[in-house]
Structure 1
Amino acid sequence: MPRGPQPSDDNKLIGYFKNKDSEHYKAYEDAVEEFHPYIPFFTTFDSKVAKKLTLKLNEIDFYKAFMEEPVTIPDKPNSEEEIINFVEVHKRSTLRKLKPESMYETWEEDVDGIHIVAFAEEADTDGYEFLETLKAVAQDNTDNPDLSIIWIDPDDFPLLVPYWEKTFNIDLSAP
């Protein structure tokens, strides 16, 4: 049984703190402002919820996109600077979905190595199966900084389909 949220196409942070007046919560809140709106963050002050998430007091879990298990930020409690530094180092997921609101951030990354651009319609059976394969590859290679997979669902960008077909010399209507 998963200990936290189901894997999604977004990175996210989840922290457990005593209350809103806690100095550790305030450091967390200040740190996450640096990444808003690209990385959503969540907080619980409820010990029962934290127990279900296996979070200890003042602990923060970082969930990478499409990954099943989080990475806990070490050395709790963390300062604002420690949280920011950790997220900066870990924020690039191996597999990223191209979205209208973050497409420029996704494309501008300067990463040497292997770049894969994959087109798959999530609503299509073949596309879904291909996406599951991409997720497995990403999970197996999450520690490989040289691998970057960008998933594009053509349904999200209908006006760009002709451009992509010409640029990549592919037919996106074919399986």
Structure 2
Amino acid sequence: MRLRTRCAISLLWLGLLIRAGAADVAFKAHFDRDEAVLGKTTGLTVEATWLEAENGQWQVLGITMPKLKGLELVKSDSRGESFPEGQTVRHRRVFRYELKATEAGDAETGPIEIAYAPSAAPKPPPEAESAAPDKRTHTIESRTVRVVARKGLGLVEWAVIAVA
């Protein structure tokens, strides 16, 4: 009986900690695929989500990837979405990057640094940006993608070649 009580209390505390952690803006980043082809582009997605009722509106001031290794930025794009979730509204901002693979082997983004602040606060001028009191920074660990020289032909492609 004591074990059940301890487990129930532990799960209750875990639930409260998870709920408290959900109050912040959440960030994640991922490549579209595990492998990229040398000389071709691959997609990287960086996503920020938050609940409006708990945090108000947020704005992403900038995303930097200071150390691209084996990758070259081709283009970037962003979009935002909002959808109701119970009594609150969930917001999501998605940033898409097209990166060209320039070296075979493991390519990486380096740490991805995201600066964000409440949108009610005016955006500070560039020279005073570091002194903004509400500005926050979040760092996502570097993301790695394997770059291969070229994809080999699979069994289906060989079968098509043999039939032709």
Higher helix share: 1
Higher strand share: 2
Whichever of the two has the greater Rg, that structure is 2
TM-score with structure 2 setting the length: 0.25
Higher relative contact order (CA 8 A, sep 6+): 2
TM-score with structure 1 setting the length: 0.24
